[in-house]
Structure 1
Amino acid sequence: MQNKGWKELELFYSVETAQNFLEMVYKNLGMDDAKKNSYKNGERFIFFLKHAEAFYKQAKMASIEIKPILLFYGMAQLLKACILTSDPSYPSHTSVLAHGVTTRKRKKQNYLFYEDEVKIQRNGLCMHVIQSLFQLKGLEDERFSMKQLLVNIPEINNVLSFQKRENPMVKAVLDKGCIRLPAYTADAYNMSAQRFIEHVKYHLNWVLSGKDKDWLTFSADQKEYHPSTSTSLLFDLESGTFLFPAARDRFLKLPEILIHYLIAYNLSMIARYETEWWYDLLLQCASDDYVIIQQFLHITEKKFPYYIAKLLLQKKEDNKKDQLI
């Protein structure tokens, strides 16, 4: 899976290709000086990708003690490359250079990673990605627990289930521009079918387009049909399936790319500044945190570059469609 993501990203490793791609994207967004900006950013775009790849190569060989740091900085470089597709002047001011996330002060005793929190700051890379790349609003100063974030990564579910942390999901079917959910999903929410339909419309802005005894069919914004941009559906890379949380209060309205970034930030801070707790966890394996962290690092090393590749390739595909209209 990791090789596939990087193999697709390497398609952009040509200045000519990068410049043509960026020019196409800028024109599609109606930006002035599309050609000029594409020439200015072509090499920068490739350098961000290559620098990210260097971090990931080192992370693949590194021990778990320093792996979170390398993966986090690799993620940041990949996100910077993506930002150039929506903000050709990046970085236009110094406030967007910080990570844009903070963690609460840690307690020395009884600290559990699974219950820790991160907070999105008003300025920095994270907020710039949220606003510029995903056009999301209302996340300033928002706090998320590691539990809230981790349950939205489907591949983690095996670990959570093994540890008896329930995280029910149902398989969603994407077919001909529609999203189909099993009719019994409403039962999981302890709702009637009609109440569940209203709930989904209110919270997710999905519109019912069909209903029978087995399936509820919805139409949704185009971003929901792509793993790298969906804020409601979850994507399991190992099985290639879309999933829908079968429990309330699981919708963070965040693309999974940002979920990985927030978790990796926290882990990188622990690896850098909470050395005593970090090594106690790694050497003693005393809590369930160890297995959760280990599995997350294994998953994100493969999945994050895959998502970034899909995000960039989708932009290229969207531009092709617009040219045909």
Structure 2
Amino acid sequence: MQDKGWKDLKLFYSVETAQHFLEMVYKNQGMEDAKKNSYKNGERFIFFLKHAEAFYKQAKIATLEIKPILLFYGMAQLLKACLLTTDPSYPSHTSVLAHGVTTRKRKKQNYRFYEDEVKIQRNGLCMHVIRSLFQLSGLEDERFNMKQLLAKIPEINKVLAFQRKPNPIVKAAVEDRLIELPGETPNAYNMSSKRFIEHIEYHLNWSFCREEKEGIVFSAAHKECRPSTSTTLLYDLEQDRYYFPAERDHFLKLPEILAHYLVAYNLSMIARYETEWWYDLLLQSASDDYVIIQQFLHIVESKFPYYIAELLLQKKENNKKDQLI
């Protein structure tokens, strides 16, 4: 699983290929000076990818003490490469260079990582990715706790269930732009089928297609049916299976890629500045946080590059009538 993402990303490790890719993407988005910008950004695009790979290679062999820092900076470099596909002038101003995330002041006693939170700032890399790459709005100054963000990563569900932290989800079948949810899903929401369908259509902008004995079928925008860009569906890379939240408050309207980035940012800050708490956790393994963090780092080490590769390769296949984002 880990090699898959980097194997695909290395397909771009040629200036000629990178320039052709960027020119095509720029033209598909109706940008002016597509060829000029592609020549300007071809090498930069590759450098971002290679710099990210260097961080990931070191993270793979690094001890847990410094792994979060290396992975976070690797993630940032991958996102910068992606930004060049939607913002040829990146970085056009200094305000987009900062991480764009803050953490709350930590309590020295009884601090729990699982209950901690981060806040998205109005400016910085994170908000620029949200606006430019995913074309989302309304997330300025939004706060997310680690519980919410980790719930976006279905591979970690086994750990949460083992620790008595249930994260109810149901299997979903996805084919092209059709999404089928199990027939019993409305029960999880304490709704009738009719009320559930209205709820999904209103809140998710999915279109109801039909109700069958096995499930309820909706159609959705192409980006909502892709693992790297969906803000609602959960994708388990290890099992190659989709899931759907079985609780109302689990809809963050945030792609999983950004959940990875936000959790990794928090961990990198802890590893850099909360040394006493960090080493106490690693050496004593006293709280459930230890296993959650360990499993998270293991998952995103392979899943984040996979998502970035999928996002870029999908852009390569897009045309003006069927754009991913």
Tell me which interval the TM-score lies in, with the shorter structure as reference length.
Answer: over 0.9
Q: Report what 1:302 is aligned to.
A: 302
One-letter code aligned to 2:9: L
Match for residue 129 of structure 2? 129
Structure 1 pair 287–92 and aligned structure 2 pair: CA distance change class (3 A): same
Does residue 275 in structure 1 map to residue 275 in structure 2?
yes
The equivalent of 1:223 in structure 2 is: 223
C-alpha deviation, 1:42, in angstroms: 0.0
Tell me whether 39-48 or 216-225 shows the greater mean CA deviation: 216-225
Equivalence for 1:103: 103
Deviation (angstroms), 1:203 = 1.2
> How far apart are residue 252 of structure 1 and its match?
0.4
* Counterpart secondary structure, 1:227: coil
1:58 alignment counterpart: 58
Counterparts of 1:275 and 1:214 in 2: how far apart (Å)?
A: 52
**Any idea what the Cα deviations from partners look like across 1:68-88, whole Å, max 9, x if unmatched?**
000000000000000000000
**Shift of the alpha carbon at 1:175?**
2.4
CA apart distance, 1:213: 2.4
Q: Map 1:174-213; keep pairs closer than 5 Å.
A: 174-213=174-213
Give the aligned partner of residue 41 of structure 2: 41
Unaligned runs of 5+ in 2: none
Residue 70 of structure 2 corresponds to 70
Q: CA deviation at 1:177?
A: 2.5
SS of residue in 1 equivalent to 2:98: coil
Q: Greater CA deviation, 204-213 or 27-36?
A: 204-213
Are positions 1:238 and 2:249 aligned together?
no
Q: TM-score, normalised by structure 2?
A: 0.98
Instruction: Tell me what 2:143 maps to.
Output: 143
Alpha-carbon shift at residue 319 of structure 1 (Å) = 3.4
**Partner secondary structure for residue 107 of structure 2:** coil
- Determine the C-alpha separation between the residues in 1 that align with 2:237 and 2:19: 30
Identity of aligned residues (%): 79
Moved more, 125-134 or 211-220: 211-220
- Give the unaligned 5+ runs of structure 1: none
CA contact (8 A) 2:28 2:320 kept: no
Aligned to 1:31: 31
Map Cα deviations across residues 209-238 of structure 1 (whole Å, 9 max, x no partner): 011222100011111111000000000000
Provide the residue aligned with 2:164 in structure 1. 164
CA distance, structure 2, for counterparts of residue 171 and residue 146 of structure 1: 23
Name the amino acid aligned to 1:58.
Answer: Q
* 1:158-184 per-position Cα deviation (integer Å, ceiling 9, x unaligned): 000000111111110012421000110
Q: How many residues align?
A: 323
The one-letter code matched in structure 1 to 2:289 is D
> What is the TM-score normalised by the length of structure 1?
0.98
Distance in 1, matches of 2:186 and 2:308, equals: 33
> 1:147 and 1:70 mapped to 2: Cα distance?
23
Which one-letter code corresponds to 1:243 in the other structure? Y
Q: Residue 90 of structure 1 aligns to which amino acid in structure 2?
A: Y
Look up the equivalent residue of 1:99 and give its one-letter code: H
| Runs of 4+ off more than 6 Å | 320-323
1:8-37 C-alpha deviation (Å, 9 max, x unpaired): 000000000000000000000000000000
3-state SS of paired residue (1:21): helix
Provide Cα deviations, 1:140-164, integer angstroms capped at 9, x if missing partner. Answer: 0000000010011000100000001
SS in 1 for 2:309: helix
Q: In structure 2, what is the Cα distance between the partners aligned to 1:148 and 1:176?
A: 28
